[in-house]
Chain A
Amino acid sequence: MLKHESIETNSGLLIVLTLVAIGIGGLVEIVPLHYIDSTIEDVKDPQTGVEMVRPYSPLELRGRDIYIREGCYTCHSQMIRPFRDEDLRYGHYSLAAESKYDHPFQWGSKRTGPDLARVGGKYSNAWHTQHLTAPRSVVPESIMPNYPWLMQTELDYSDVGARMAALKKVGVPYTLTKDEYAGWTDEKGQKHPGTVERFGEKVANTLDINRAEDNLLAQAKAGNYDGDPSSISEMDALVAYLQVLGTMVDFSKFDEDYFIQFR
């Protein structure tokens, strides 16, 4: 029988048993998250069966990196909670599925500025460019810092493929091989759907790591997010990212009731 006194007088044993006690608390909270999948919404287009939540395009991904680099998450959350006031101000509450490709997720816990989970499409590209460069020129009461260098700094996209490959390792369905793109059947006859089947061909093409740079350039040129077509700036990437936030799920295609069953 282990005596109270013998634990108190043996610091090595005390450390081990303390870790075990804390470990139980941690495991009870963390382990279930790995096998309770019923809380992650299955968000497929009811007509086409295509998955609505997709990984970020190369340009959006670089924009997200800049979002993290500039520390936007320290003042802006990306998590609309299921409360009446938040629903009225920001829109539909965030789904678990909407951040399943975010590594790390940007939920945040501090709102010095407004929540950005559904900022996509709410303002024009021109507004975002103006606002990020000089926030007080459009929102007089804002306390957000100026980010004038975004417009002046050319976007470094040389390593975008490597960044996508890294995310692929943690489960984001970016593709490298033809099988991953078009789907394959393993030796047991089990079918694995490719990105074309899951997201549709147009999106699947943007998830191809081999074409990452071309895709990034094409999106930046077509979008001209910062209003300056002469170069691709960090502003282009960041605005492209902001404009996609919260826009992937088309809530008009679902009965509100559908999302309640996942809780």
Chain B
Amino acid sequence: MATPVKDPLTGAETTGHVWDETLQEFNNPLPRWWLWTFYATIIFALVYWFTYPSWPIGSTYTKGFSSITYKTDAGETKTTHWNMRALLAQDMQTGEQALKQKAYLEKVSAASYEQIAQDPDMSAFVRSYGNGIFGDKCAACHQAGGQGVAGLFPTLVDDDWLWGGNVEQIHQTIVGGRNGYMPAFNTTLNPEQVDEVANYVLSLSGIEHNADAAAKGQKIFNGYAGGCYQCHTTAGKGLTSQGSANLTDKIWTVADTTAEETPAERLKLVKNVITNGIQRQMPVFGAKLSETEIKVLVAYLKQMSTTQQQ
């Protein structure tokens, strides 16, 4: 070590290092506050090592002295060394937020749908909790207000339900998903027949059409050639068991005729659907949501469709 010396001009201490014959540097010690903070971080690290999992030793690691107690799914109480996974399990079971929601979730889980609708407290909970689930799981397709995207994803705020609108049916739709399928008729029907069937479909909901063609279309619709009646029924009202659309209620979920202005364009839209068929899929949410969450969601959807109609 070089010996510290005093600089004769300033009287301040230098480090004693000398370069290029006369070049020296002052010994400026670190500020005390900085130095003490530095020592504090070292002490913090030591405390951390003993509290939490930290050092690798062979094929394992030090687990730390801190511990967490949680419940397994089987209901057993377990205590383990501190780790994020156990901490999450504990947080989901006994955390402040969890306990707040738990009381409501248990109440909703035990109540019938009528009771939920009539109880303002439960209704309010469903509105807020259901909104969170809907926003993340459903809104991407059905949109934030449940209005859907015309032609792509059905609206949930009218009283027309492809797969049925009672709570059991909505529940089943969420749990098991749905596969909407209509075959393409481009090989079964010739263009003229497609035109006739399309005119008949338009006539079912009282939209401007060619009456002669519609009369012929009705025969194809209800006959062997088209066989449309097998899913849509002879009255054109559809079957919720098949997810086949009601063609008489002026609600268009696939061919969005309301968006078109001329009769020719409306006809073209319907013809497109008949020619190309439909393949639509509602994903399965049974594995992504708990039974109670699904119940809240069903109640939320019922709330949403009835509120919009008032």
Q: Which of A122-150 contact B (CB under 8 A)?
A: 122-127, 130-131, 137-140
Are the C-beta atoms of B137 and A83 separated by less than 8 Å? no
Q: Which of A36-57 contact B (CB under 8 A)?
A: 36-38
**B149 at the binding interface (Cβ < 8 Å):** yes
**A227 at the binding interface (Cβ < 8 Å):** yes
Are the C-beta atoms of A121 and B284 separated by less than 8 Å? yes
Cα separation A81 to B287 with both chains bound (whole Å): 19
We find that the number of chain B residues with CB closer than 8 angstroms to chain A is 45
Are the C-beta atoms of B59 and A36 separated by less than 8 Å? yes
Are the C-beta atoms of B281 and A125 separated by less than 8 Å? yes
Are the C-beta atoms of B287 and A124 separated by less than 8 Å? no
Are the C-beta atoms of B17 and A37 separated by less than 8 Å? no
- Residue on B with the closest CB to A131? B140
Of the candidates A4, A84, A138, A140, which one forms a contact with B141 in the assembled complex, judged by CB atoms under 8 Å apart? A138
**B161 at the binding interface (Cβ < 8 Å):** no
Distance (whole angstroms) from the CB of B158 to the closest CB of chain A: 19
**B24 at the binding interface (Cβ < 8 Å):** no
**B262 at the binding interface (Cβ < 8 Å):** no
* B280 CB contacts on chain A under 8 angstroms: 124, 126
* B53 CB contacts on chain A under 8 angstroms: 263
A-B pair number, CB within 8 angstroms: 99
Distance (whole angstroms) from the CB of A122 to the closest CB of chain B: 6
**A2 at the binding interface (Cβ < 8 Å):** no
Are the C-beta atoms of A257 and B88 separated by less than 8 Å? no
- Residue on B with the closest CB to A256? B73
Distance (whole angstroms) from the CB of B281 to the closest CB of chain A: 4
**B152 at the binding interface (Cβ < 8 Å):** yes
Name A's B-contacting residues (CB within 8 A): 4-5, 31-32, 35-38, 81-84, 87-89, 91, 93, 121-127, 130-131, 137-140, 227, 250, 252, 255-257, 259-263
Additional A-B contacts beyond A87-B88, A255-B72, A260-B70 (17; CB < 8 A)? A35-B59, A37-B59, A89-B136, A93-B85, A126-B280, A127-B141, A131-B140, A252-B287, A255-B73, A255-B74, A256-B72, A256-B89, A257-B73, A260-B78, A260-B85, A260-B89, A263-B83
